[in-house]
Structure 1
Amino acid sequence: MSLWSFVLRRFGRGILTIWFAVTVTFLLLRLLPGDPALAVASPNMTDEAREALLTQYGLNQPLIVQYGLYLWQLVQGNLGVSFTQSIPVLDVLMQRLPWTLLLTGTALVFTVLVGVPLGVLAAARRGTGWDRLVQIVGVTGQSLFVPSVGVLLLFTFGLTLGWFPIGGAYTNGTYGGEWYLSVIQHLVLPATSLVLIQLGSYVLTMRSTLIDALGEDYTTLAHANGMPPRRVLWKHALRNALLPTTTLIGLQLGFLVGGAVLTETVFAYPGIGRGIFEAVTQLDFPVLQGAFLMLALTVVVINMLTDLVYGLLDPRVKTS
């Protein structure tokens, strides 16, 4: 299979995935208890005014008609208007997107920078005390629950010790260098909670794949040719062991986004995750649909890029 065929197949799957996510989100939101009309119509309105408002938002149409109108708006790049804020959904999301990108990006970078070396250390010292300690860290990380970790960090380092702020993304009234420092301080606890949750998967995956690579014929041959063990580890074995880790980054991004929703809620961080929580309580369907679409699109694009990178690193993928 050629590279272009490989790309087109991944692109087609991505489009189908996004359509499926849009459809499921649309239907599930309509199953939420409560009447979304209450979010846009006041109890003091006259029947005529209420009906006109519901007509404006299409809430008095049959479900299939609402679905068709929603898809038509998406094709035109229109995500609708927020029920509660009366501004375009895209504006609402763009106000929150930079904070979510900052949080998830920081967590992903530190997870990889910490998880990969720990996995390498465990594989290089297999069977030692370091290996067992790293495995304990990995297994423990996989068993943690996002809100529990967030609340524990918040209580310990925010409320009890007072080392870090307990909510928000920055301190009001700060400017210049103080503002950037405030952003970093507010970022530490929510990012740390996401790192702790994701770390175990990277550590255990890196350890397992590197141990397998160290047992392959090409590493045995390198040792037999007198190549130093450190060079065999870093130049030959690690390069092949990084392939599954590359795939893991794409797969774990979905869990990272889901964890960000819970983390932003716990730390009152003003990202898209926090916006989803607020929109659920207010039955703001357009914001919820737009937020889930943006998250689904992000995950699909990252997974497509991961597939492409994997295909470039391992040409066998393009022919499978």
Structure 2
Amino acid sequence: MWFAVTVTFFLLRLLPGDPALAIADPGMTEELRAKLLADYGLDRSLGVQYWEYLTQLAQGNLGVSFRQNQPVLDILLERLPWTLLLAGSALAVTVALGIPLGVLAATHAKSGLDRFIQVGGITGQSLFVPSIGVLLLYVFGVQLGLLPIGGAMDGDATGAAAWGSIAVHLILPCLSLVLVQLGSYVLTLRSTLIDALGEDYCTLARAKGMPQRRVVWRHALRNALLPTTTLVGLQLGFLVGGAVLTESIYAYPGVGRSIFEAVGQLDFPVLQGAFLMLAFAVIVANLLTDVAYGLLDPRVRTA
């Protein structure tokens, strides 16, 4: 976390432009402009700014937004649920589709079905989030008019209608992320499951008369899921990066959208707080991945 905080702090200062322009009106007098910069600590050296930021961070203070003049924590907490909903939905759909497709490809290895699934997986890995997002937006939102083209919900929706509106607005952003990352899960699971089915314990189970379906789902799949579990943790980083682009394309009011807006405004406090929050999420995801490893493979717990 300290490394993420430090790198983020200094890299943001390399962005071209003057953050003072996000705060001060060009028509202000020089005295008023200097006072405003002093209030935000931008008149101090980088070393002093860094130390003051760490001091405030240790007290749970992420600073105040240059542009919105609101506490960064309040801004991010307001948008975080939308990002969690988008990323969580995309991850859940990806895993729900990836496991059966991977099993289907592995159990029909070298068949036409297997090749079709592999081609689809490789194609998905080759897609770029903004490209597929704009394409889906144009086809389903503009041309067909089946789905909303932006936002997270209808402003006048309440009760059950509000939840329905949220679900409808979530379809295109979620689909954009799923299409891009699904191939990795399918291809990884297919490869590891084929290897697992060739192991001695699966051969022995079949020799004892156990049906192939049970061999796959009861014995082989559990071991084959280990690399896929690792991929789930690593893909959270992709979801974070993909969410910035996806939320920007669909004007989805999440943390990623805040990052996109703050970059153009050189709003350092918002960028620092958002990256800190996302770094924490990735660290927690990797920790949970390690715990899941122990649950799936008892050998890990005794290593």
Match of residue 202 from structure 2: 219
Q: Which amino acid counterpart does residue 38 of structure 1 have in structure 2? A: L
8 Å CA contact 2:222, 2:296 repeated in 1 = no
Q: What percent of counterpart residues are identical?
A: 70
Q: Does 1:195 align with 2:146?
A: no
Match of residue 306 from structure 1: 289
Match of residue 79 from structure 1: 62
Out of 239, 244, 255, which is 1:256 matched to?
Answer: 239
SS in 1 for 2:177: helix
1:52, 1:142 → 2: CA distance?
A: 51
2:231, 2:203 → 1: CA distance?
A: 27
Out of 150, 155, 165, which is 2:133 matched to?
Answer: 150
Shift of residue 319 of structure 1?
6.3
Match of residue 243 from structure 1: 226
Q: Using structure 1 for the length normalisation, give the TM-score.
A: 0.92
Q: Which amino acid counterpart does residue 274 of structure 1 have in structure 2? A: R
Match of residue 160 from structure 1: 143
Match of residue 28 from structure 1: 11
Match of residue 64 from structure 1: 47
> Residue by residue, what CA displacement relative to the aligned partner does 1:81-101 show, whole Å, maximum 9, x if unpaired?
000111100011011101101
1:174, 1:226 → 2: CA distance?
A: 57
Unaligned runs of 5+ in 2: none
1:125, 1:46 → 2: CA distance?
A: 74
Q: Which amino acid counterpart does residue 225 of structure 1 have in structure 2? A: K
Aligned-residue CA RMSD (Å): 1.2
Match of residue 38 from structure 1: 21
- 1:176-187 equivalences in 2 (<5 Å): 176-187=159-170
Shift of residue 311 of structure 1?
2.6
1:311, 1:183 → 2: CA distance?
A: 36
> Residue by residue, what CA displacement relative to the aligned partner does 1:98-138 show, whole Å, maximum 9, x if unpaired?
11011011000000000110000000111111111111111
Match of residue 209 from structure 1: 192
Shift of residue 214 of structure 1?
0.1
> Residue by residue, what CA displacement relative to the aligned partner does 1:246-300 show, whole Å, maximum 9, x if unpaired?
1110011101111111000111111111111110111110001000110111011
1:223, 1:316 → 2: CA distance?
A: 24
Match of residue 96 from structure 1: 79
Shift of residue 318 of structure 1?
5.2
Match of residue 266 from structure 1: 249
1:283, 1:231 → 2: CA distance?
A: 57
Shift of residue 73 of structure 1?
1.1
The number of aligned residues is 303
| Runs of 4+ off more than 4 Å | none
Deviates more, 1:223-232 or 1:196-205: 223-232
Q: Using structure 2 for the length normalisation, give the TM-score.
A: 0.97
SS in 2 for 1:188: helix
Q: Does 1:281 align with 2:264?
A: yes
Deviates more, 1:152-161 or 1:227-236: 227-236
